[in-house]
Amino acid sequence: MTPEEKQAKDMLFIAPYDYEGLEGWLVKISWYPNEKYENRKWHSKLFAFRDFASPEETLDAARHYRDEWIETNKEKRYLRSLGARFSPILPRNNTSGIVGVNRSDKRRKSGPLWQTTFALPQGGVVNRKFPISTNGEVGALRMAIEARRTGLLAVFESRGVGVDEVAYEVIKFYDDILENIKDFSDPTPGPSVIEIVRNPDVSATSKLEQLQVRIGQQRFRREVLEFFDYRCAITGSSLLIRASHIKPWRAATNEERLNPANGLALSPVYDAAFDLGLITFRPDGEIMLSEKITIDGSALGITGRERILSLTAEHQAFLDWHRKHIFAQ
C-alpha cells in the first residue's frame, strides 16, 4: 500500500470541519438501505477540537468512531471506489462539460448527434449515438445522458455495489441535468443547459462550472428532501414540502448555499414562519416560538409542541446561527 493509499484509507469518511469558529473533524458516512442509490442515506458526527486535548486526539476519536460505526452496521452498503474510469473529472477530449457525453457535428447522413461511451459489466466498451434530426437537440442529449447513466449503474450492480463515492457524484450530476432539461419551464436565470453545452467559445471546464452553478439549487432541494424522506421534518406530511435554507441564501457562502445540512424539509406554514424568524429550533430539535407568533400561532396550526428528531451535528451548527441572527425573540 502506497503512502497515498494509506492516507486515503485512514481518512475514509472523515473531512475537516470549520464553521462559525467551530473546528474539528466530521465523520460523514453514506450508505444504502437497499441496492437503489436513489435511497442513499448519510450518517454524520462532529468531533470538535475544543472537546479534546489536541487535534491529533480529535482525529483519533473520529477514526475510532468511524470504525466502530461501520463494524456495528456491517450489513449496510457503503460507497467505495471503483476506479478512475468512473471519475467525474472531464477528460481532455470532452467539449460539452458533461463527462462521458459529447456532441458531434461531423458530416454524416444522420447529421449532428449526441453520443456517449461507457464500459460494459462483462468488459469492453460501447458507443451509443443519438441523432438530433430524429430526436431533437434536447431529446438527443437526454438520451445520451440516460444511456451512460444506465450503463454505469449496470457496472455497479454487477459488482455487488450500490454505487461508489466518486461515481455517485457523476450519477447525481446526470440526474441534475436530466431534471433541468426535462422541460423548458426552468425559471433559473442565465443561459439554459443546451445553450451552455453548445457554446463554442467556452471551454469544457467553464461549461462544467456554469452547469454546476445552474443545477446547484436544484440539487440542494433534492438532497434536503431525500434526507427527510420527502416529508415535512415536523408534521411528517409529504404534501407541498419545501427545502428551506436555515442560513438564508443572502447570508450564506456559495458552499453553504448548496450544503444539504443547511436545509430543512418543511410544510409551507412552518417554512414561512422559519424564514421570517417567527420560529426556530433548540439543539434537541424542540420548536421555539417568537413572542410575535404566540397569539396567532395556534390559528396557523403551530402548537409549540413540535420537534424535529433527525438533526445532525451539521444541522445544529446552522441552527445555532439561525437562533442568533434570524429568530425574533
Residues 6+ away with beta carbon under 8 Å from 116: 100, 101, 102, 127, 128, 144, 145, 147, 148, 151
* Count of structural domains, the chain: 3
Tell me how far apart the alpha carbons of residues 186 and 217 are, in angstroms, rounded to a whole number. Answer: 12
Residue 165: per-residue pLDDT: 54
The grid coordinates listed for 80 are 467505495
> What values do phi and psi take at 139, rounded to 5?
-65, -45
Low-confidence ranges of the chain (pLDDT < 50): 1, 5, 80-85, 163, 183-185
94 lies in the same domain as 22: no
Residues 6+ away with beta carbon under 8 Å from 193: 141, 177, 180, 181, 211, 214
15-70 pLDDT, tens digit per residue, is 888 777 788 898 888 776 665 555 667 788 889 999 999 989 999 999 999 889 88
Tell me how far apart the alpha carbons of residues 138 and 182 are, in angstroms, rounded to a whole number. Answer: 8
280 lies in the same domain as 156: no
The domain of 61 spans: 3-78
Residue 39: per-residue pLDDT: 62
165 lies in the same domain as 67: no
The grid coordinates listed for 224 are 434536503
Tell me if residue 14 falls in helix, strand or coil: strand
Residue where one domain finishes, among candidates 59, 78, 97: 78
200 lies in the same domain as 233: no
212 lies in the same domain as 154: yes
Tell me how far apart the alpha carbons of residues 88 and 176 are, in angstroms, rounded to a whole number. Answer: 14
Tell me how far apart the alpha carbons of residues 4 and 2 are, in angstroms, rounded to a whole number. Answer: 5
71 lies in the same domain as 88: no
